[in-house]
Structures are given as C-alpha cells and as structure tokens.
Chain A
Amino acid sequence: GDSVTQMEGPVTLSEEAFLTINCTYTATGYPSLFWYVQYPGEGLQLLLKATKADDKGSNKGFEATYRKETTSFHLEKGSVQVSDSAVYFCALSPSYNTDKLIFGTGTRLQVFP
C-alpha cells in the first residue's frame, strides 16, 4: 500500500544553519504531497503542499519540490530559527482516494541559539 518514509530524528541544528528533512514515498499514480508541523502540545498545521510532479511548495522560508523520478519531497530551509523547533510530518493523499491522508512517522527538529 501507499506509504511515507521520513528520516529519523531528532535533527539538531544551530540557529541560522541549513535544514534538510528527507521524505520519500511509495504510491500508485500521482499522489498529492504535504508537509505538516506540530508544535509541542498542539495539533498539526499545514506547512506547504504540492499536487503534481515538479511543483514546489513554499511557506515561511520552507520549501519542498515534488520529485516524481526519485519519489521524494524533501523539506528545506536556508536558515533555521529557534522558533522552528517542532515535529515535522510528511504526508501524502493518494490519487485513487484523495480523502485519505497517510503520514510519515515525523521528524523532530531542535534548533539551539
């Protein structure tokens, strides 16, 4: 079945460092891809999304490009801040059932000043 694989955390960075969180997926057809962020004790918030191959989603300095050839949707940010510390989830919505949202296990990011 469809699935999402994320790099294990925690990812620990100093402020202003470059961030990459890897996400790869297995799916039939052309799923839609999402990154969600969860701050401590809260629910998830959509960070960005891409609905077709080569689309780039971006928000708040974060970017991710839908790569069909490598089945990847890696999250990047050029300069992280302490306030970016959170858990990041990659997710997909299958093309055959767009009502489903399948999540990865999440990657915890810790940014220190």
Chain B
Amino acid sequence: DGGITQSPKYLFRKEGQNVTLSCEQNLNHDAMYWYRQDPGQGLRLIYYSQIVNDFQKGDIAEGYSVSREKKESFPLTVTSAQKNPTAFYLCASRNEAGLPTEAFFGQGTRLTVV
C-alpha cells in the first residue's frame, strides 16, 4: 500500500549527539515536509522540499538539517545545536508542488533526550 513511513517510532538521544530520523514515501509526491509537535503549540514547520536536491527552511530550522537526494526520501538530522530536541516529529508529503492538495502524514517519531 502507498503511504509514508517514518522510523524509528521512538528514539532516545544522549545530549551532544546527532540523530537522523527517516522518512520514506512511495506516493510519488513532489513535496515533503518535517514538522515538530509540542504540547499546546500545534505543528511547527522545520524544513520542506518541493523537488529533489532542493529544500527551504521553515519557521524553526535552527539546529536541524535535511537532505533530498531522492524523491521518495527526506531524512531529518537533529544536531547537537538543537537546544530542546525532545518532541514528536511528523513527516508529510503532498502531490504536485504548487497546488493546495492534501498532505499525507507519517505515524511520527517521538524523540527523547536522556
């Protein structure tokens, strides 16, 4: 079945470590997104990509990095520069960049700093 797969579902990180969250989609969608969800703050956009080898910063990009080497993959790295990384991270994709189409979301990755 088509969809978006995020892995792992739970991730624990020690302070000072970089970690990479995986996001893969087989929907052939052009645009992909990373959001961070914190209690009481809704979803905040970290990065998004409209096409392979191109991406744009969202509202809270500091301390994060992404790559888009393949259309189906959009991994997010949480670097040690991110001061408060504990959160629920959601990846999404949309078809046909430039149109207000439905966004499909993955199941999320819950990252905890220990």
Contact = CB atoms under 8 A, between A and B. Distances in A.
Contacts, number: 58
A89 B42 contact: yes
Interface string B1-41: 00010100000000000000000000000010101000011
- The prevalent SS among residues of B at the interface is strand
Interface residues of B, number: 27
A89 B43 contact: yes
B108 interface: yes
Contacts of B43: 44, 89, 103, 106
Contacts of A93: 100
* Closest CB pairs A-B (n = 5): A43-B105, A32-B100, A105-B42, A103-B43, A93-B100
Interface of B: 4, 6, 31, 33, 35, 40-45, 48, 50, 90, 92, 94, 97-100, 102-108
Interface of A: 32, 34, 36, 41-46, 49, 51, 89, 93, 98-106
